[in-house]
Chain A
Amino acid sequence: MSTIETLRAEIDALEGDENPVRRLLSPPGILIAPMALLLLCMFIGPMLAIVVFSFQTGNAIALNPLEWSIATYQEVIGGMASGEGVYGDVLVNTVAVSITTTALTLIVSYPAAYALAHKITRYKLVFLMILIIPLFTSVNIRVFGWALFLVQNGVLESIVSLFGVQEYASLMYRRSTIILGTTYIYLPFMLFPIYLSMLSIEDTTLEAAKDLGASRLTLFRKILLPLSKPGIIIGSLFVFVLSLGANVEAEILGGGSIFTMASNIQYSFGYSQNWPLGSTQAVGLLLITVVAGVVILRTIDLREIAARGD
């Protein structure tokens, strides 16, 4: 074998898939690398830190590798089981807020998404802009706006007093008010996925169903609902998970009398400086989110959606 041939053989060997560095830097690897790096630093790292901290003792704010404890888990789970402390109420509040918000946003969004995708042509852009523009402003600002509206001596009271209502009980600091807030804030997250799945349903598909003798109920049950299901699922997942983590709404509209897990976690980390307790609750919230996500996503067949793409 000549020298050149030997060299070529060596280069070929290097260029093969066996070279792990080369394989990592091959185009798909390069394309996905920044995202992977970002997720590693910003998501997986902090998550691990939270899990680690939840097994620390007392009011630790620096990691102590020699002392591990499950005391905070005992406190939180024990509290929930026995009904002592706030944890049971907080869990109920959180889940109630999330489920109700998901249901309300779904009920409001579904007909609107259908209308926007298939019925409304004039002013459609205006409707969509009205839904999108609030997303440009901070949640804080919008929720404070709500508070100014609802609070005693606020805008709503001035309005109802014009109609002769004397006794105005403030609508603030109730669970239902928090739900009203989350429903408004997260509405676009339900509407847009459903709207997009409605858009992917051809007008002719709906016309064909009518043409083939489908009643309005059949059209809804057999055609519209199954074809918009992916949007419903994705929207529900968004809204449910976002509501689970809603702390601004709970803090401002709940005003410290109604706690959700997210606001309680913030309280543990901030006011009471109990990082392990906050971490434990964060792990709990994460578990609820993952379980809810799995349950919701299992109701759709992702392969079915992929197959429908063509």
Chain B
Amino acid sequence: MLQATNLRAEYGSLVAVNDVDLQIETGQFATIVGPSGCGKTTLLRMLAGHQEPTSGTVELNGEDITYTEPQNRPTSLVFQSWALFPHMTVRENIEFPMRNNGIEIGDRVEELLEQVRLDPDVHADKQATELSGGQKQRVALARSLAYNPDILLLDEPLASLDYVLRKRLQRELADLNDELDMTFIYVTHSLESALLMSDKLFVLDDGDIIQTGSPEDIYRQPNTKFIAEFMGDANVFELDGVEQKGGSYEVQSSLFAQTTTVPYHHDHGEPKYLVVRYDDTAVETELTEDLGLEVDVENVLVRGNTVLIECGSPAADGEYVAEMPVDEFRATNIEKGDTVFLQWDSAKSILVPE
């Protein structure tokens, strides 16, 4: 188990990581997700030993490794730029950590290359600089796995790859985590990576961990408006009146005419916003659901088998989006410029505090 306690990093007067606590079980795939500049890379570098924390501790299986040098800690960092040694072949790159740690080489290079799905016969003796981005990423991964670290730290290594390749490598990383008894800690600003691969999510904003949980829990019940928006594709309505009714809240807003009651179990204070995901909403010429508002259709974007309908609300000066299956949208005969109802089943609403 990896445990960080009150971990803090300051650059002069700037607090990059603000007394963060995190706990990751052995073998878990944990993801630290947050926007650029939220301190996630600094946090990862402290876990890897490349940066000393201003204060706080890092413990691995009960042993304090806060100030252990990177070469002496059982963690391995896969860099965003992969950091392959340009003057070495693929084989030499992978042998490097094995030689440093006195591990017998034997057929291990071939095994590792197969594990990251590269053909050893084709790639082992290529110069590192001759590889494509995806191949470099795989070699960097194999090199980090080569000396069996307890924890593999990944600093957005997929960020610069194209969409298809990134998707595939995400799947492979998740599979690899299942195969190996190794903890993976992945840092990203990309929600799709975070949701797809992780067992546990840490949402980091401005140096603070603002929510921890399974990807599904966080998606279903974000703690804050920031997380709700960051988790993506959500319409946010500010509430004007809230009233507690048992385990639910009766809420109203000047943005939609109806008053509605939504379950809310939260210890972060009263709800301030109502959130509804794009794909839980639809546009119709008549109000047919129990919650909705009148909007003007400003744009219609086809996204594969669904349509994004971008709407403006003249009353609220806001921008809202509905996402519907193509067929359903076509059946409504709604076109750009029409005035329609953007609506949803009130049960799909999520209430969030500040």
Does chain A bind chain B? Answer: yes
Q: Which residues of A contact B (CB under 8 A)?
A: 202, 204-205, 207-215, 218, 222-223, 226-227, 304, 307-308, 310
B129 within 8 A of A: yes
B42 within 8 A of A: no
User: Given A202-B81, A207-B70, A308-B87, is A212 in contact with B129 using a C-beta cutoff of 8 Å?
Assistant: no
B86 within 8 A of A: yes
User: Given A211-B77, A212-B147, is A310 in contact with B71 using a C-beta cutoff of 8 Å?
Assistant: no
Q: How far is the CA of A310 from the CA of B127 in the complex (A)?
A: 12
Q: Do residues A212 and B87 form an inter-chain contact, with CB atoms below 8 A?
A: no
Q: How far is the CA of A214 from the CA of B49 in the complex (A)?
A: 14
Contacts of B146 in A (CB 8 A): 212
Kindly report which residue of chain B lies nearest to residue A206, judged by CB atoms: B83
Q: Which 5 A-B pairs have the closest CB atoms?
A: A213-B100, A212-B97, A208-B83, A204-B83, A210-B70
Q: How far is the CA of A212 from the CA of B79 in the complex (A)?
A: 12
Q: Do residues B129 and A213 form an inter-chain contact, with CB atoms below 8 A?
A: no
Q: How far is the CA of A223 from the CA of B86 in the complex (A)?
A: 9
Q: Do residues B50 and A227 form an inter-chain contact, with CB atoms below 8 A?
A: no
B45 to chain A, nearest CB (A): 9
Question: Of residues 63 to 93 in B, which have CB atoms within 8 Å of A's CB atoms?
Answer: 69-72, 75-77, 79, 81, 83-87
Q: Do residues B83 and A210 form an inter-chain contact, with CB atoms below 8 A?
A: no
User: Given A209-B96, A215-B71, A218-B100, is A308 in contact with B83 using a C-beta cutoff of 8 Å?
Assistant: no
8 contacts between A and B (CB under 8 A): A208-B77, A208-B84, A212-B71, A213-B101, A214-B71, A214-B100, A307-B127, A308-B129
Q: How far is the CA of A212 from the CA of B84 in the complex (A)?
A: 11
Q: Do residues A215 and B87 form an inter-chain contact, with CB atoms below 8 A?
A: no
Kindly report which residue of chain A lies nearest to residue B101, judged by CB atoms: A213
Q: Do residues A310 and B96 form an inter-chain contact, with CB atoms below 8 A?
A: no
Kindly report which residue of chain B lies nearest to residue A219, judged by CB atoms: B71
User: Given A214-B96, A215-B71, is A204 in contact with B81 using a C-beta cutoff of 8 Å?
Assistant: yes
Among B77, B100, B147, which residue has the most Cβ atoms of chain A within 10 A? B100
Q: How many residues of B contact A (CB 8 A)?
A: 28
Kindly identify which residue among A207, A214, A222, A307 contacts B83, using a CB–CB cutoff of 8 Å: A207
Q: How far is the CA of A213 from the CA of B129 in the complex (A)?
A: 22
Q: Main SS of the interface on chain A?
A: helix
Contacts of B76 in A (CB 8 A): 211-212
Additional 11 contacts, C-beta under 8 A, given A211-B70, A211-B76, A212-B147: A207-B70, A207-B77, A208-B77, A208-B83, A208-B84, A210-B50, A210-B70, A212-B71, A213-B72, A222-B96, A226-B87
Contacts of A226 in B (CB 8 A): 87
Q: How far is the CA of A213 from the CA of B69 in the complex (A)?
A: 9
A77 to chain B, nearest CB (A): 43
Q: How far is the CA of A219 from the CA of B207 in the complex (A)?
A: 33
Q: Do residues B129 and A310 form an inter-chain contact, with CB atoms below 8 A?
A: yes
Q: How far is the CA of A215 from the CA of B70 in the complex (A)?
A: 10
Contacts of B84 in A (CB 8 A): 208
Q: How far is the CA of A204 from the CA of B80 in the complex (A)?
A: 9
Q: How far is the CA of A212 from the CA of B96 in the complex (A)?
A: 7
Among A210, A213, A304, which residue has the most Cβ atoms of chain B within 10 A? A213
User: Given A205-B85, A208-B83, is A307 in contact with B129 using a C-beta cutoff of 8 Å?
Assistant: yes
Q: How far is the CA of A227 from the CA of B129 in the complex (A)?
A: 13
Q: How far is the CA of A204 from the CA of B144 in the complex (A)?
A: 14
Contacts of A214 in B (CB 8 A): 71, 96, 100
Contacts of B72 in A (CB 8 A): 213
Kindly report which residue of chain A lies nearest to residue B75, judged by CB atoms: A211
Contacts of B71 in A (CB 8 A): 210-215
B143 within 8 A of A: yes
B48 within 8 A of A: yes
Q: How far is the CA of A307 from the CA of B77 in the complex (A)?
A: 26
Contacts of A211 in B (CB 8 A): 48-50, 70-71, 75-77
Among A209, A212, A218, A227, which residue has the most Cβ atoms of chain B within 10 A? A212
